[in-house]
């Protein structure tokens, strides 16, 4: 077989980039944990010695870390002064937890998910699922850390107002179920924004529900927020004005059955808001950085999770608008539209 040297070199460069990114991921987590990014944003430009002093860390480690970050474009280096800094854009990505561009949690998700690689490799051979609950505890915190900035930036100001009549209903007092709530970030944000409404957060993962209860107490909304350990097909309650599912519908082993249950628990004019990862409908339209990240995380977390359940219809994290539409209409809904979108998410309004 004759190799095309130019094409081979392109593949080598791609692999080298990926190898660097893989080695870079734990350094992003370390930089966040030790306050290196935050300190650079607040006190930079700094030398490696200055950053080490500010963060009570060791200069030789910090020096190597800074050079790695600068080589990856995450930190800005000035060779004339031998100082490092963050541009406003780099700070939004790495140092500001309230920024919609904050990405540190995504690195935590990837690292946490990869820790059960041996179990996942075996699942490839057997076809068995790997439940969400089988991951190490760090993953659950990482997912909250990853998605909360998106919800904080968009949920109350953009996504709910894009739904027909929902904002007004919650302003005057509505009933809301947050299905697949995880640590309750979305539930608490809605409760803070709509003090006249009541909320129920639902998740099958009991440790996440325990964390969600703590978040509600800390936010001072526990008097209007309950949490229930249940699946999307079995949760209690009825006559909800809004059911919301954030980045979790594609994790369900029977999304059609879940849709049918949501339909039963909504009021006749209620709304189901489904927030999903951004995806186009055709595979070839998702062969890009967003698709690559989503397909990869879907292989590590979402698809094994659904296969661990009924596995009636395993959507995966890049099901696209049509894949979601088909599942919810098969579950009994008749009205479906894309209400909003961001570079990372699609927001669907579903009505009976």
SS3 assignment for 215-239: HHHHHCCCCCEEEEECCCCCCCCCC
Tens digit of pLDDT at every position of the chain (352 positions)? 788 889 999 999 999 999 999 999 999 999 999 999 999 999 989 999 999 999 999 999 999 999 999 999 999 999 999 999 999 999 999 999 989 999 999 999 999 999 999 999 999 999 999 999 999 999 999 999 999 999 999 999 999 999 999 999 999 999 999 999 999 999 999 999 999 999 999 999 999 999 999 999 999 999 999 999 999 999 999 999 999 999 999 999 999 999 999 999 999 999 999 999 999 999 999 999 999 999 999 999 999 999 999 988 999 999 999 999 999 999 999 999 999 999 999 999 999 9
Q: Is the pTM of this model over 0.75?
A: yes
- Residue 1's pLDDT is 77
Q: Which residues pair with 175 in a beta bridge?
A: 198
Query: Can you tell me the distance from the alpha carbon of 257 to that of 248, in angstroms, rounded to the nearest whole number?
Result: 14
* 320-330 helix and 255-265 helix, angle to the nearest 10 degrees: 60
Q: Which fold has domain 7-95?
A: Arc Repressor Mutant, subunit A (1.10.10)
Q: Where exactly does CATH 3.40.50.150 map onto the chain?
A: 107-351
Q: Which fold has domain 107-351?
A: Rossmann fold (3.40.50)
Q: Where exactly does CATH 1.10.10.10 map onto the chain?
A: 7-95
- The continuous run of DSSP H or E covering 102 comes out as none
Chain Cα centroid distance, residue 298: 11
């Amino acid at each position: 077989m004759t190799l095309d040297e130019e094409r081979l070199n392109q593949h080598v460069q791609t692999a080298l980039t990926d190898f660097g990114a893989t080695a870079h991921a734990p350094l992003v987590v370390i930089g966040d944990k030790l306050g290196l990014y935050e300190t650079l944003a607040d006190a930079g430009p700094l030398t490696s010695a200055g950053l080490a002093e500010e963060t009570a860390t060791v200069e030789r480690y910090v020096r190597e870390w800074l050079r790695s970050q600068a080589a990856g474009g995450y930190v800005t280096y000035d060779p004339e002064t031998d100082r490092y800094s963050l541009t406003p854009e780099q700070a939004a990505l790495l140092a500001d937890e309230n920024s919609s561009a904050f990405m540190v949690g995504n690195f935590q998700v990837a690292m946490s998910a990869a820790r059960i690689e041996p179990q996942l490799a075996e699942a490839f051979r057997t076809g068995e699922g790997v439940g969400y609950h089988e991951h190490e505890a760090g993953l659950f915190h990482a997912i909250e850390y990853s998605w909360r900035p998106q919800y904080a930036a968009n949920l109350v100001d953009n996504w709910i107002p894009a739904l027909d009549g929902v904002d007004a209903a919650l302003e005057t007092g509505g009933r809301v179920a947050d299905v697949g709530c995880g640590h309750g970030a979305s539930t608490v944000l809605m409760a803070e924004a709509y003090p006249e409404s009541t909320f129920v957060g639902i998740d099958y993962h009991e440790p996440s529900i325990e964390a969600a209860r703590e978040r509600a107490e800390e936010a001072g909304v526990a008097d209007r927020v309950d949490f229930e350990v249940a699946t999307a097909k079995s949760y209690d309650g009825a006559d909800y004005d809004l059911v919301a599912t954030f980045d979790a519908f594609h994790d369900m082993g029977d999304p059609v059955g879940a849709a049918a249950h949501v339909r039963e628990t909504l009021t006749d004019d209620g709304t189901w808001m489904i927030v999903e990862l951004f995806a186009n409908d055709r595979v070839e339209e998702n062969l890009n950085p967003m698709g690559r990240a989503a397909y990869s995380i879907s292989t590590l977390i979402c698809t094994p999770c659904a296969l661990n359940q009924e596995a009636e219809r395993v959507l995966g994290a890049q099901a696209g608008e049509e894949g979601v539409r088909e599942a919810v209409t098969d579950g009994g809904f008749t009205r479906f539209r894309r209400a909003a979108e961001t570079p990372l998410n699609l927001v669907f309004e579903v009505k009976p």
